[in-house]
Structure 1
């Protein structure tokens, strides 16, 4: 089947977890929360696997623009904020699967004895194809199965990748490549912060208070 034309994701990886903007009006935040609840409940209530697949493909077809209008300004530890960041994480991976796989693979070596690698669930060794499959699996898990598990997998992925980026930053620093060292250090920091937010969201979801 030929691929359907779609608008490209126009969010560079450096913007992951660094979206900033003005404060949304209260009504827009209410719509963001209401729409997120309605979306998750509607998709999870159906037995039609095609509905889940359509949701996974949604960001490919429409880009992140539509989601951004409602969800991007929501707090990171809210339901719309979690959905936005899951979609943004997948976009980051799809935009640079090779680079993301390199960072993740390095992190999986650094954290070889950690449970985070197991929880993230990427195939090893992790190349571009494996990292793309992981991105789809995590987003798909948000609409089927256990939403908290999907959030925990996203958190684990971010922790492993943060460790990889930090290790690559050390390599660049040793090689006197200050620009790359700075970029990798910043990426590691953003990923580590995202891991904390996903973990917090997973805990809220398990308590039934993620909204």
Structure 2
């Protein structure tokens, strides 16, 4: 069911010229809720069409809900425009609305353009955000070390250092998860080009 529904949805939208159909499919999670898609696709393997579709919808939802934070992470992760900026279609200083537009653009590209290119864009995007998370984690750790070395270590300072380490560790964990998702997108693009993403 999950494979058939993902293939049918992708095929139907690829063969329509109606922009309203495309918009309804892009905003499916917004209008119907994530539970419907989760029931269909969340247990699918990442190297399958429903598994990749699930990840694309989650990426869009996450980007739109956290657009300001993600815009900041992009600036940390891609301080100078590189090939990632060109692939994703984001300049080096995006704002929250740029992130929301990019989220929609990546997902709509999966339905209206070359599916593999949309996956490449999603992969490049998640790579930059993962790098931004790592940069932020290192900044938190460095700032805490500087504070600790310039003050007498007491109970409050040890607690603050522990809190900073915990925040940094969470950011690094999220970055690792995003890098895994990025690899899933790249592998999905490779399989799609070979006609093996089902």
TM-score by length of 2: 0.87
Give the structure 1 partner of residue 171 of structure 2. 184
Give the structure 1 partner of residue 147 of structure 2. none
Structure 2 unaligned blocks of 5 or more = 145-163
Q: Distance in 2 between matches of 1:76 and 1:121?
A: 25
| Structure 1 residue matching 2:112: 3-state secondary structure | coil
Q: CA contact under 8 A between 2:188 and 2:197: conserved in structure 1?
A: yes
Matches within 5 A, 1:52-201: 52-109=22-79, 112=80, 114-176=82-144, 177-201=164-188
Q: Provide Cα deviations, 1:38-71, integer angstroms capped at 9, x if missing partner.
A: 1101110111121111111111101210000010
Q: Distance in 2 between matches of 1:123 and 1:117?
A: 6
CA 1:106–1:187 in 2, change beyond 3 Å: closer, same or farther? same
Q: Distance in 1 between matches of 2:135 and 2:81?
A: 16
TM-score by length of 1: 0.82
Give the structure 2 partner of residue 32 of structure 1. 2
Q: Give the structure with higher Rg (CA).
A: 2
Structure 1 unaligned blocks of 5 or more = 1-30
Q: Distance in 2 between matches of 1:113 and 1:126?
A: 11
Q: Provide Cα deviations, 1:179-207, integer angstroms capped at 9, x if missing partner.
A: 22112101111111111110000011111
Q: CA contact under 8 A between 2:14 and 2:112: conserved in structure 1?
A: yes
Q: Provide Cα deviations, 1:102-159, integer angstroms capped at 9, x if missing partner.
A: 11121111xx364222211113411111111100100111110111111000000000
Q: Distance in 2 between matches of 1:129 and 1:164?
A: 18
| Greater share of residues in helix | 2
Count how many residue pairs are aligned between Structure 1 and Structure 2.
179
Q: How well do the aligned residues superpose, as a CA RMSD in angstroms?
A: 1.1
The answer as to 2:189 corresponding to 1:202 is yes
